[in-house]
Structure formats: C-alpha cells, structure tokens
Amino acid sequence: MKRSAYHQAGVDIAAGNTLVERIKPLAKATARAGSMGGLGGFGAFFDPKAAGFHDPVLVAATDGVGTKLRVAIDAKIFNTVGIDLVAMCVNDLIVQGAEPLFFLDYFATGKLDVDHAADVIQGIAQGCHESGCALIGGETAEMPGMYMHDDFDLAGFAVGAVERDHILTGADIQDGDCVLGLASSGLHSNGFSLVRHVMAQHEISYDSPAPFSKNQTISEVLLTPTMLYVRPLLPLLKAKMIKGLAHITGGGLLENIPRILPDGLMVEIQKNAWNMPPVFTWLQELGNLTQDDMHRTFNCGIGMVIICDPSQKENLMTLLKDTAVFEIGRVTHHQSGERVIIA
C-alpha cells in the first residue's frame, strides 16, 4: 500500500487511531457522576449538578512530570509517569478544598509508539480512578523534528469543584495551630534535574541495584509514582476539620508552606518528627547536598502538610490511620523574616 505524504513526513495517523481505540476502555472505566459522553468528540462535557454540587466554584490546575520523564524514557518504564501526571494536578486541587471532577492529558512525541503511549495513558487512567476523577479527553500529537526518536512530553489538566462555603484559603490559620505531615512515596515529581546531575557526575546507571532498597533498581525507586492524597483528605475537608493544606512540590517544605500562611505567621518544623526515606539520604550523601538544598528541592518524605486546630489533631490522625501521618510542628508568630524553620 502506498504511504500517504503525511506518513512519509513522519506522522502516522493510523497509529494515532489505533491508540484512541486502545485507550477508550481505560477512559470509560474512570466515568463518575457528572460524566457525559466519551472519547472521540471535539470536546467533552461534564455536569457539576449531576456530581452533587449545589453552589460550586470551579478550580483548575495544570502540571507536568518534569525531567522524571527522562528517567522513564531512559529506563523504558512507562506505566507509572501517568499516575504522577494526575497526582501533580489533583493534589493541587485538593489543597484548595476542591474535589477533582475530570482530567485531560496532552501527549506529544516525535514518533508515536502505540504500546508505550498506551502504558502511559493506562497510568493516567489508574491515577484518575484512584482519585475519583473522570478521564474525559486528551490530545496525542506526533511531531517529528520537535522531539528526538522516542522522546515524549506530557501535560495534564484537571478541573475540580468546591462548594462556595468550603473553599480552603488558610485565612483562619492562627498561632498555636498544629502542623501534620502526610508521608510521600519518594521523590514524587520534583528535583529530578538535580538527581540526574548527581547521578551523571558519579556515572551511575539507572539499571544499577539500589543500595538503599532491596530487590529494586535505582530507576524503579526513582520512578515510584507520586502519592494521591484526594481520597483520604476529601471527607476531612467536607467535615471542615482542616484549616490549610500545602502540597509539597518544587521548592520543598520551605517554599510551599508559606503559600497558605496568613501574614505575621510562620511554621516551626521538627526535622526528627519523621524519618527521611533512604533515597533522600543516599542522594544527599552522593551529591554532598546541604540541608537547605534538600529542603528547597525535595519533599524529604513529606508530600502534604495539614494545618489544623489542636483540638482536631487526634481525630485527624485517627482518621488518617491508613496513611502515614506525623505531627511535625506548629504555627507561631513571625520571627526574623523566616516563614518556615526546620530544626
């Protein structure tokens, strides 16, 4: 069969159509109340009223996975970064009190490998399912000349809703409030440019056995997907048990917690309140990184910070018993220009 001119230019429309057919069941499995229609149209509909909202405010978030993708591509492990993509978006919605409703993805590559792309989107569907979020659409772009060989990039877009009187702003946080930390699953999706730099300096292969984790390669540990915090936190938010949430992403504990603090307040964190996972200790020693480097680049084992009234602390820790949670500090009055002190 004669190939079309577009195919000769490097774009395989048939491969794209094959991918769409393969991922339709994955998307369908994420359907939830409010979903309308399926993949394949020019746009997707969602009905907030059917999802149970009365006076909703919509909240939107977009994110990527960063250079963690480079590790996935080099290690040829494609089934986890889709979970990361969803987590980075929906975790940003939940900190504002919003329930994730639907998700769209953008997958761009130089040459479409249907199997690899399907693995990525299977991870996206898994992340959506675990977050109660419908995967209602996306875009796959094959762009030869923009991306080399099998390289690809991802972007995610999530929309959630919160009842107007349940919006979480942190405005009522006050001196004496308790600070809890929810454990991360590892590096999540931040700091990978530094990780890759340190590993390149020491000529370490991603296929090497991880000296800090039994029966895993370094790439397998690094590609552990980002924790999804929606399901454990959503009922606590609806019960108004939480004053503020901070998703610990780029900038670490030092730069993300201040984003939710009212003027005049700071947080004191006890660094011995939890054990930093061994992957972070290994990176710190390997790269000769300072504590400040660690706290401004990585989550260091805490993926989400909760601020609550001290009277709610025990209730929250009991309700979060299935998620590793630590009491890590307290809110106090602003001192010496610092917004977060880790000591």
Does any domain span residue 172? Answer: no
* CA angle centred on 305, ends 302 and 307, rounded to 5°: 150
- The helix/strand count (H/E) of the chain reads as 12, 12
Average pLDDT of the residues in 290-313 = 97
Q: 317-326 pLDDT, tens per residue?
A: 999 999 999 9
Instruction: State the pLDDT at residue 174.
Output: 97
Does any domain span residue 39? Answer: yes
Same domain, 195 and 323: yes
- CA dist., res. 297 & res. 289, Å (int): 10
pLDDT at 117 over 80: yes
List the structure tokens of 155: 């972007």
- CA dist., res. 158 & res. 134, Å (int): 10
Q: What's the chain's average pLDDT?
A: 92
Average pLDDT of the residues in 282-304 = 96
List, in order, residues 6 or more apart from 167 with CB less than 8 Å away.
Answer: 57, 96, 97
- CA dist., res. 227 & res. 248, Å (int): 11
Same domain, 149 and 199: no
List the structure tokens of 143: 């762009």
List the structure tokens of 145: 């000349």
Q: 233-265 pLDDT, tens per residue?
A: 999 999 999 999 999 999 999 999 999 999 999
Q: How confident is the model at residue 153 (pLDDT cuts 50, 70, 90)?
A: very high
- CA dist., res. 326 & res. 179, Å (int): 9
Instruction: State the pLDDT at residue 12.
Output: 63
Total domains in the fold of the chain: 2
How far apart, in Å, are the Cα atoms of 107 and each of 26, 124, 280?
Answer: 16, 11, 30
pLDDT at 89 over 90: yes
pLDDT at 34 over 80: yes
Report helix, strand and coil shares of the chain as percent, to nearest 5: 35, 25, 40
Same domain, 160 and 39: yes
Q: Which of the residue ranges 20-29, 74-83, 165-174, 198-207 would you say has the lowest mean pLDDT?
A: 20-29
Q: Answer with the one of 166, 193, 216 that is the final residue of a domain.
A: 166
Query: DSSP for 5-48?
Result: HHHHTT--HHHHHHHHHHHHHHHHTT--TTEES-TTSSS-EE-T
Instruction: State the pLDDT at residue 308.
Output: 98
Q: Answer with the one of 136, 166, 196 that is the final residue of a domain.
A: 166
Instruction: State the pLDDT at residue 248.
Output: 98
How far apart, in Å, are the Cα atoms of 310 and each of 23, 114, 173, 176, 321?
Answer: 46, 51, 11, 8, 18
For residue 33, the enclosing domain spans: 5-166
- CA dist., res. 97 & res. 169, Å (int): 8
Same domain, 203 and 110: no
Share of the chain above pLDDT 70, in %: 93
Same domain, 255 and 328: yes
Give residue 109's region: left, alpha or beta (phi > 0; psi -120 to 50): beta
Share of the chain above pLDDT 90, in %: 81
Same domain, 51 and 101: yes
How far apart, in Å, are the Cα atoms of 233 and each of 131, 179, 197, 309, 314?
Answer: 11, 15, 35, 16, 15
Does any domain span residue 299? Answer: yes
> Pairing state of beta strands 56-63 and 152-163?
antiparallel
Does any domain span residue 240? Answer: yes
Q: How confident is the model at residue 30 (pLDDT cuts 50, 70, 90)?
A: confident
Does any domain span residue 253? Answer: yes
Instruction: State the pLDDT at residue 18.
Output: 76
Amino acid at position 17, single letter = N
Does any domain span residue 173? Answer: no
Same domain, 191 and 314: yes
pLDDT at 41 over 90: no
List the structure tokens of 268: 């004191």
pLDDT at 125 over 70: yes
Same domain, 206 and 313: yes
Give this prediction's pTM: 0.92
Instruction: State the pLDDT at residue 29.
Output: 80
Q: 190-230 pLDDT, tens per residue?
A: 999 999 999 999 999 999 999 988 899 999 999 999 999 99
What number of other Cβ atoms are within 10 A of residue 118's Cβ?
17
CA dihedral (256, 259, 264, 268) in degrees, to 10, reads -20
- CA dist., res. 256 & res. 113, Å (int): 37
Instruction: State the pLDDT at residue 304.
Output: 98
Same domain, 182 and 331: yes
Does any domain span residue 97? Answer: yes
> Which CATH number do you get for residue 305?
3.90.650.10
> Which CATH number do you get for residue 110?
3.30.1330.10
Does any domain span residue 171? Answer: no
pLDDT at 11 over 90: no
Q: How confident is the model at residue 131 (pLDDT cuts 50, 70, 90)?
A: very high
pLDDT at 9 over 60: no
